Structures are given as C-alpha cells and as structure tokens.
Amino acid sequence: MISTGLNELTIAETASLIQRKSISPVEVTEAYLRRIEETEDRVQAWVTVEADAAMKAAKESERLIMSGTYLGPLHGIPYGAKDIICTAGVRTSGGSEVNGDYVPELNAAVIDRLNEAGAIMLGKTTTTEYAYQGGEPPTRNPWNTQHTPGGSSSGSAAAVSAGMAAFTLGTQTFGSLIRPAAYNGLTCMKPTFGRISRYGVFYASWSLDHIGAFTRTVADNAAVLEALTGADNRDPATLLGEAPSFREAIDRDISGLAVGVPEPGGFFTPEDSSIGVAMDEAVSVLKELGLQIRTVKLPACIDEAVAAHRMTMRAEGAAYHLESYRTRADYYGPSMREQLELGFELSAVDYLQAQRVRTVFRNELMSLFDEIDILVTPSTPTLALPGFKTGSAMFNGPFTNTGLPAMTVPIGLEPASGLPIGMQLVGPLLGEETLFAVGHRYQQATKWHRMTAPI
C-alpha cells in the first residue's frame, strides 16, 4: 500500500517500485499528468505538455518491463525539458518570438540519452528568452506564488518543486541551474564544463553553457547525470574518456575532507541574514559529519572575472544570433536585444582579453583546491525575489565561468516568507563525485530535501 502520492516519491523510490513491478510507468505518468492539471494554472511552468505522447511512451515502457526488459533507474520516470532543448516533432520556442513556432526534426543529444535510459518526456518547460537575461516567463515559485522561481530555467525548477515532474533538464550560462534550484528547494548539479553534450540545445554562449538536472535529492541527481554524461563528437567541448559512475560515488567515505569557507565580508556575503544563519547551521552539520572546516581567501581578480564573463556572453551571444538578428531584430525582447547590441560593439581584442582574464581566474580558483577538497558558499545572495525578475546569479557565475562543478542542496526555509535557502558546494574540475558524496551524506543527516512546496 503506497500512501504517498506517486508524484511525491523520489526517483530512487519510484524506480525501485517499477523494477519490482509494484507500480507501472503508466500509473506514474498518469500521476504526474494529473498533478500538472491540478497546479499548472497557478505555477505556469510548461510551454507544452505532451500528454498523449507521454502516455504512449509509458505504455511501451510498461510493456518492456512486463517482458523482462529493465533499462535502469530512469526506466518509466517522467521528466520535462527546458524549451531551448530540441525535441523531434515537438515545438521548441526558445522562449522567444524570433522563431517561436520552430519544430525540430531531431532530438538534442540529452533527449536521445534519456530515451535510451527509458525516461518519459512530459513536455517542455518555460525559459527566459533563449536562456538569456530578460524575457522572463510568467512562471511562479510554488513555495510562494508572489515570488520568482528564478531563471533562466524557470519552468524546469518550478515543475519539480510543484511535483509536476520527477526531474527536469535545465541549462546554466551564469546561474540558471543553481539559482532556481536553490529558490525552489531542489538539488541540482552544474557539472564540469564538457561533461554533457550540448548538441541540439540553443546556445547562449559556447564557452559557458552547461546542462544539468533538477531533482529533489542528491541520489536522484547522480542517477540522472550519469545517464546524461559522455563524449559526443557533435559537441567538441565534451570531455573524452569514460564517464564516471556518479551513483556509486554517493556512498564514498567523506570523513576528513577539507571544506573551504570564504572569508567573511567578501564576495559571497549574502544580503539576507536568514541565508547566513542557514549556512552556519549547514556548515555545523558538515563538521559533525567529520569534515574539516577551513577559511579560504578567494582570488583577488573575482570582479574582473565577472566582467570577463559578461563580455563573453555578449560577444558569443551576438555571434550566435548574428544571422537571425539581421532579419528579425524587432522580434527579440528588449533586454536580450540590449545585450546583443553591446555584443556587436565588442572588438576581437576585448573578447580575447576577457578570455585571458578567465584563464587567470580559473588558474587561481583551481589552486584553492590544493588546500581544500570542496568549497561551500550560499547558493544565492537573496531569497527568491517578489515579482518576475529572476534574481542575482552572482554567486554562481564564478563556477560557470571557470567550468568547475557546483551543486546546490536545500538547507533551510526562511520562516516569514516560507522560501527555501540553498548551499552551493564547489569542487575542482572533474570533482563531481566528491560533491555528490558530501551532498548525499548531508541529506542523510537532514530533512530539508524532503520538504515539499505548499501548493
């Protein structure tokens, strides 16, 4: 007898029931579609819901199980994909009017990988215009619908938070995975640059774009990322070599690991005092788990690195949109248009100087990990803001800029607003396994990831 709603279970719990044939992928998919019907009006997380296609896929998924074929931990698990990720035969609008009726002929690499893993796509989730700043969707934060869910992966975060999908795909070019995940009380890993193929995903910036997944738990995130990871010659940035087993990594021994905490009063000082309080408590938990806490000094050029990041986004965005901007400039939203206009003004020398600053910053940030195993910071400087602006990504930018892996886990709720707070764990390049292990142990010791949005 299962008393919890199927859409409230973790992926691991659902997968276990599906594998044992205690529940069918059809029942699971029906539960999520029902939840979408119940809550979408208040959350507005979806651009497109493919209910018929999802049910058809669920029936095929059930048939495979009954015939003895089990594809793994994502078999029969329903998910959503940010609407900049191409889906064959399903409109991919990019959150824009520039080419808003575009229906791709091919799937993005990540969609093909999830198909192979047996996951079931429910539909496409809202995004800011082309995952850029500006062009915010109407999507609401399920914890408090007067507030933003963050962005640019607005719908992906809100959908999981509201129990409308078991997991969702998003992207991060500045802070578009970690920030909305933190605002929605979710777990999310932005992996090392190059871990996941971006083939078939609209680019915001070639040298900054990362793909990740929103889940409730670290264990679930490890399962999804493991399915997505791997080399792909269609995205030359992907890392070569064998993909690690993230699911095995979560059980690694973490005792004695050194955790760096930035010096107080610096770049990572939160604006909301409740975030500072929650961080202190979370760091105490890490200490109780046997980790050693050390104060660390961040690279001096962090402000220049932010400037380099923004210039890179402008220049690469302008280059990517060059052709369509020539003929359809008036269809771009004003905020994105502003950034593209500035991008067109940048010289090659300025772009290259920005890349050199990024090299200096990455080298200095990597050298921090000679002394520590992971760095922890608040995931965001503020709680989710009221209204529709998606909030500050400043605490996430440094690790997108450098390609270092970063993960957020929920660590508390602000009592008055009921809004979630997140802690960002950062590792050296290719250091996801340690982050998963620390995050998993933290979630075994706490219950924040078990809380659900009151919608």
Partner 1 sequence: MRRELERQYEDFLTAERDKYKEGHVTKEERASFERELEQLRSFSIPGHIGPNTTYRGE
Task: Single out the catalytic residue among 24, 82, 153, 274.
Answer: 82
CA-to-CA distance for 381 and 187, rounded, in angstroms?
A: 17
Question: What token pair was written down for 108?
Answer: 């993005």
Question: What token pair was written down for 287?
Answer: 């200490």
CA-to-CA distance for 409 and 431, rounded, in angstroms?
A: 16
- Confirm or reject binding of residue 71 to partner 1 (CB under 8 A): no
Question: What is residue 299's DSSP assignment?
Answer: P
Stretch that binds partner 1, among 9-17, 85-93, 115-123, 296-304 (CB under 8 A): 296-304
- Confirm or reject binding of residue 150 to partner 1 (CB under 8 A): no
Closest separation in Å from C-beta 386 to partner 1: 10
CA-to-CA distance for 113 and 228, rounded, in angstroms?
A: 6
- Confirm or reject binding of residue 334 to partner 1 (CB under 8 A): yes
- Confirm or reject binding of residue 145 to partner 1 (CB under 8 A): yes
- Confirm or reject binding of residue 300 to partner 1 (CB under 8 A): no
Question: What token pair was written down for 93?
Answer: 């609008």
Q: Please, what is the angle between helix 25-43 and helix 51-66, to 10°?
A: 160
| Number of shown-chain residues binding partner 1 (CB under 8 A) | 48
367 counts as catalytic: no
Closer residue to partner 1 in complex, CB, 134/410: 134
CA-to-CA distance for 200 and 45, rounded, in angstroms?
A: 22
Pick from 58, 75, 69, 63: which is nearest to 11 by CA? 75
Q: Is 64 left (phi over 0), alpha (psi -120 to 50) or beta?
A: alpha
Closest separation in Å from C-beta 176 to partner 1: 19
Position among 1, 41, 265, 415 found at the interface with partner 1 (CB under 8 A): 41
- Residues of span 75-134 touching partner 1 by CB under 8 A: 134
CA-to-CA distance for 245 and 238, rounded, in angstroms?
A: 17
Sequence letter at residue 256: G
Task: Single out the catalytic residue among 152, 161, 205, 207.
Answer: 152
152 counts as catalytic: yes
Strand order in the sheet with 210-215: 46-49, 120-125, 78-82, 167-172, 210-215, 187-190, 406-414, 419-426, 374-378, 258-262, 292-296
- Confirm or reject binding of residue 331 to partner 1 (CB under 8 A): no
- Residues of span 237-256 touching partner 1 by CB under 8 A: 237, 239-241
Closer residue to partner 1 in complex, CB, 40/281: 40
335 counts as catalytic: no
Position among 51, 53, 360, 451 found at the interface with partner 1 (CB under 8 A): 360
Task: Single out the catalytic residue among 24, 156, 176, 197.
Answer: 176
Position among 69, 359, 367, 444 found at the interface with partner 1 (CB under 8 A): 359
Catalytic residues: 82, 152, 176
Question: Which residues are at the interface with partner 1 (CB under 8 A)?
Answer: 41-42, 44, 134, 136, 138, 140, 145, 192-194, 207, 236-237, 239-241, 301, 303-304, 307-308, 310-311, 333-335, 337-338, 341-342, 345, 350, 352-360, 362, 387-388, 403, 429-430
